[in-house]
Each structure stands twice: as structure tokens, then as C-alpha cells.
Chains A and B, each alone.
Chain A
Amino acid sequence: MSMAKKAVLMQGNEACVEGAIAAGMRFYAGYPITPSTEIAEQCALRLPQVGGKFIQMEDELASMAAVLGASAAGIKAMTATSGPGFSLKQENIGYGCMAEIPCVIVDVQRSGPSTGLPTSPSQGDYMQARWGTHGDHPVIALSPSSVLETYTLVIRAFNLSEKYRTPVIFLMDEIVGHMREGVTLPDPSDLIVNKRKASFHDGAYKRCYYVPEGQYVPAMKPFGAGERYNITGLAHDISGFPTNNNDQAGALYTRLMEKIDRNVDDIVRVQETMLDDADTAIVCFGGTARAVMSAVEEARAQGMKVGMFRPITVWPFPEGHLRARLPGLKRILVVEHNYGQMFLEVQRVVAGQTPVEFLGRLDGTVIPPADILEKLRRMEG
């Protein structure tokens, strides 16, 4: 039974840290960058209190590397950054995908490219979250739209990361990161927190990347726990040793992709609001959902049948959920603080079955609900 708890005023970035600590994160390495800096500051304050490790590294690349090292040593680890830093971390994020090292990378998106508009909201890293590192690779990315959801969803980010042994991108934006809201945090005893497995699969000694038939995720044992093994970013065999053997490399790549593809139902979460009778769906993610919900409510008050489709898991894109909604929809509007990135995913899934339009913004200001309403009216003609 959870105890009734008092509401506290909290910033999104702060909720991210508290959620991560609740998830068992005890290692943070980072480099200061607006608008994610409060996450580093809060970790510097809070981690020593709970016996965790905080280190400010010399750069973004080092932070990502240190996080992967700490996770290989058996500690749940996180880093946080924003656009330019997210770009710098990409090579090592790919290493985490290849070597299957769980960790959470928070990207509090800001306007780009380059230094862009450092303090302004943007959602321009949606595609980078998917394709930022080179080569084909699996990705899980989650995006919260409120302070409370930041808290609960970052716990899920750690859980998925441990379960699937893969880096998870926690795609925040300046809107949510810097928003202050009164939140009632769930009781810690109500939280589900995945632990790292303590040993390899049976029969995996000296074959640390072995998985039993029909499974996709090798068990992971931390360094120093008595089973010496090798980790590499090169294509490797099941012993973790580099290989040029095409069959072994092919099996590895297939398994890496399939461990996510075959578990989409477990990974994907969507918020579907007022969609059951809707003829119009607004697709959005992250902080944009707030303006969209205002617009939906206003549109409903004016008699329009509008609902919101909000991927919480933004990668893999919840295509099954969206496809299931298509028969009832006459039109789809995608609203994002970018030039149309999730829009491309929606177009791919809809494949011409339903007209899809886009409303976006790049000037560093927030899209007001009135603009969304106006766009809806024009679409209804």
C-alpha cells in the first residue's frame, strides 16, 4: 500500500534525476550544457547523499565513455546533454549498442543545428535519436510530456535498458526540462525496478554473448565478478572476441536488431486520448503535447472530433497502434517543434491511406494552441 504523499514543486530536469535515483542509478558522468545542466547539478548534489558517484568529465565524449565503463563494472549509469553534446556522444552510444551495455542518455533538446538557440525549445533531435550513430543499430527512445511523467518514465528507461541490454535515449525537450509543476511522486515501494542479472546464461562461460535458442538478450555479468570476458565494438563472436566471419557477424547484427523488433509490444507505449470517435488525430510527442491537449479540448468544445496520438516510446515508432487507428480517421495532423521529423515516420506508416499534414516551428518559440486550432479548421475545410 502506498502512503498518501505530499505534492512537491519540481522541475522536469530535477524529476529526471529523482526518477533515475529511484531506478537505482548510482553513476553519473556529464559535461555542462544548456538546457540540461540542472541534471548534472542535481546529480552532483544528490548522488553523494545516496552513496552514488558523480563526475564532471572533460568533455561529452568522455562522459559517454565513462558511463559505459561504469555500467560494464556493474553500476547503473546515466549522462545528460543537449543537441551539440548529443552529437558528440554518438560514437560511444553506438559502442553501447554494439557491445550491449545498458545505460540511459538524456537529451534535453534545444534548437540546432550547431549552437543554435541554446535556451529555446526544439524537438529537432528526433531523427538523431534514431540515426545519430553510424551503422544499423537498435534504438529505444522515450519522451515524457510532463514533470511527473519524466519521473516515472526515466525509471522505465532504466528498466528497458537493463532488460534489453541497450542504451536508452531519454528524449526530453526544453519545455519539459525547465517546466515546474507540483507533482506527487509515487511511493518507492510501488516502483518496479529491474536489476542486472548476476550471472551469464547457463553454459555461457567463456561465451558471454551466448543466448539460448529463441532468446535475444545475453545475460550480463559485471567486470570483477569472476568471469573474465572481452567486450569490443568490433563485430564479435559469442565469446566477445572480434571476428571477420560473415556468418558470425550476420548473426550478431540480426540478433541486435531483432531483440528490439521482436519485442516492440513490450517496449512501445502510447497515449491515445479522445481518439475512439475522432475523425482527426493529432500526432505529437514530448512537451508539444501540452499545447496539443489544449487545442484538442478547445476543438472538442467547438464540436470537432479531434483526439491526440502521443508516442511515449518514440523509437521504435508505435506503428501498430497508429495503423489500428487509421480506419476511423479522415485526417492526421503532426505537430512538432521541428521541420517535420516524426511527420516522416507518420507518412511512412500511413502510406497514403489518410491525408497527413504538418505544423511545425523552428524560431525557438512554443507553438500556441490557437495555431493548432487554426490549422485544424483549415484542414476540415
Chain B
Amino acid sequence: MPSELIHEFMRIDHLPHIWCPGCGNGVIMRDVAVAIQELMDDPEVKLNREKVVIVSGIGCSSRAAGYMDFNSIHTTHGRAIAFATGIKFAKPELEVIVLTGDGDCSAIGGNHLIHAARRNMGLTVVTFNNDIYGMTGGQYSPTTPAGDKATTAPYGSLDRPFDIAQLAAGAGATFTARGSVYHVRETIDLIKQGIRHKGFSLIDVYSVCPTYYGRKNHKGGPVEMLRWQKENMVPTARYYAMSEEQKAGKLLVGTLTHSEYPEYTDEYDKLVKRVQAEMAGR
């Protein structure tokens, strides 16, 4: 019998999960469960567990949907956000959370990501961003740093990588944030903010893939990869207290952008009311 949290929110018959030793995905999946639990317990939110829908695409990240004991749907490669759009638009009372990977949401699913950000429908997207295609054995992804190696970049990748959160923000996402596997508490809080946010939110969580990305690029094992996050990713308060020189090469863990814009399903409801009122008045 695992911890109460895991027992309550995971389909424990199917655990332990398939992820490799030291893979960050298990931590992110737990972060999502804790965020949901804390919002269920929060008297201001009282999140209804039965209304939570977990949507995933294809890849290592996307196995999470099956493990999580909610309404869950493990869809096709790249299309998680598009499925989620259908679910949320059909039943806006559902709390739709998309669990996706860097390849899933910013390569094959990149179009859905930017258009969902533009539309500002109340979805929460949590990326398990590990800089690599893990499920297929370590090919370079849109977030693999330029110069790094992968099975399809044996001489180093020439591609300039995406910053997924910036990409979403540029497309109009009204809440974007960056989390990491090392910064557990901060990441849980960011996921909670994303779920509470009225509109499209994206939390780009930096995972670690020791098996493929780490090994190919001599980044050490899981411990060394987490140490890198500890040393190079900086939570909000400390980050903003740093001088510009200190910030160089460091990544903020925290909220990147936060703005208000009408939420899509609300606007559609208003449109329906307007159309129906016009019909009744005719």
C-alpha cells in the first residue's frame, strides 16, 4: 500500500509506472495530484474531483493519464489539446488538465498549442518537458538545446530550441509559468494557479530524462541532472532579488506572464444567450 495520496489519486493496480529510474515524470505526475488535492481541500475552490478530466497525447509524458484516477483520456500524438478543447467546450463545467510532452505539444501538436493559447479556453496544460523523444528512444525534440546530441542528431542538433512557455505567451496564453522537477513545492503552486486561472494556462515543467538525453549528452545521472536544475533554475523571490549579471544563464521558476482576457466558453455562452434572445424577440 503506497502513501495515502498515491492510493487516493492513482490507479495503483497499474503502478509502479513504466518510466525509467530517475525519470522526472513521476514527480510531475505527483505534483499534479497534490495540486488537485489541495484545490479540493481549499474551501475557496472546492474542486470537484469527478469534474476533473486528464487529457494526454502520446509519448512518455502521456502515459500519466492512464495512471491518474480521474476521468482520463490518452489521445493521439500531438492532439491532446485539440481533444481537450472539444471536452471543455462541450462541458465547460469540467476542469480539463492536459498532460503533454515537449514533442507532443510543440512539434506535432504545435498548431493546437498556439491556437488554444489564442482562443483562451480554460484549459490547463502541464508539459513534461525533457528535451527529447523518450518513448521512441532519444531523438531530438523542439526543446533539445542546439548542439546537444540525440539518436537523430549524432553530430549535435542544428535546430534552435523553443521555449514552450514563451511560445504560448506569444500566442496569447493568459497564464504561463515554468516549473521543474527539483522545485516541487513551487511547481505544485504554479499548477494550482494554472488550474484556478480563468483562461488558457500553461505550466512548462522541466523534467529530466537521464536514460536518453542525460546519457547522450554526458549530463550525469538523475541526481546530477536535478542538481543542474537546483543551481540554474531560480524561484521567483530569489530570482527577482538577483542582479542582471547574476541572472545571466539562470531560468526563472515561477509565473512568466499573467493577464486577463475573456474566457472562450463564457463568451460562447453569451453569444448563445444573445442569439436566443434575438430569436425570442422576433
Contacts and interface: CB of A to CB of B under 8 A. Distances in A.
Interface of A: 27, 29, 48-49, 51, 53, 55, 57-59, 61-62, 65-75, 77, 91-92, 95, 99, 222-226, 228-234, 241-242
Interface in B61-100: 63, 65-66, 69-76, 78-79, 82-91, 93-94
B261 interface: no
8 contacts: A48-B272, A48-B275, A49-B275, A55-B85, A61-B79, A74-B90, A223-B53, A232-B65
Interface of B: 11, 14, 50-51, 53, 55, 63, 65-66, 69-76, 78-79, 82-91, 93-94, 111-112, 114-115, 268, 271-272, 275-276, 279
A92 B83 CA distance: 10
Contacts of A27: 86, 89-90
Contact of B74 (A70, A71, A225, A231): A231
B204 to A, nearest CB: 21
Q: Is the interface of A mostly helix, strand, loop or mixed?
A: mixed
Given A58-B111, A69-B85, A241-B11, A223 B76 contact: no
- Which interface residue of A27, A67, A69, A222 has the most chain B CB atoms within 10 A? A69
A69 B94 CA distance: 12
A69 B72 contact: no
Contact of B76 (A67, A91, A222): A91
B71 A69 contact: no
Given A27-B90, A75-B90, A224-B53, A66 B73 contact: no
B50 A228 contact: yes
B219 to A, nearest CB: 30
A92 B84 CA distance: 14
Contact of A69 (B83, B93, B268): B83
B85 to A, nearest CB: 5
A16 B65 CA distance: 36
Given A51-B272, A228-B70, A228-B71, A92 B76 contact: yes
B79 A242 contact: no
A69 B74 contact: no
Contacts of B63: 242
A241 to B, nearest CB: 6
Contacts of B82: 57, 61-62, 65-66, 69
A224 B51 contact: yes
A230 B74 CA distance: 8
B68 to A, nearest CB: 9
